[in-house]
Amino acid sequence: MRKYETIFILHPSLDEEAVKANIEKFKGVIENGGGTVDNVDEWGKRKLAYTIDKVNDGHYTLVDFTANTELPRELDRIFRITDGVMRHIIIKKEA
């Protein structure tokens, strides 16, 4: 088991319920894949560093989790096919 962190940005047009639903969805992917969610830090709506598809804001969320080496690949796939996810990154933490 390794420690990872992921940051994802959701489209600002999503309401609070949709944002919470997406966060729970991603937590479920981690937990159902045999991982554990260590921390969820919702940063809220913030200005993007650069414009993405004529959008200047996004809902930022940081999730720290522990998982096997296969789970980040599946989580990345889920991020890519989920509507509303503008950007995401998954990083392996140093031991």
Q: What Å distances lie between residue 87 and 1, 8, 31, CA to CA? A: 25, 6, 22
CATH of domain 2-92: 3.30.70.60
For the chain, domain boundaries: 2-92
CB 7 within 8 A of CB 62: yes
Q: How far apart are the first and last CA of the chain?
A: 11
Give pTM, 2 decimals.
0.92
Q: What is the pLDDT of residue 73?
A: 95
Q: What is the pLDDT of residues 5-16, one digit of tens each?
A: 999 999 999 999
Whether residue 55 has pLDDT greater than 80: yes
* 56-85 tens-digit pLDDT: 999 999 999 999 999 999 999 999 999 999
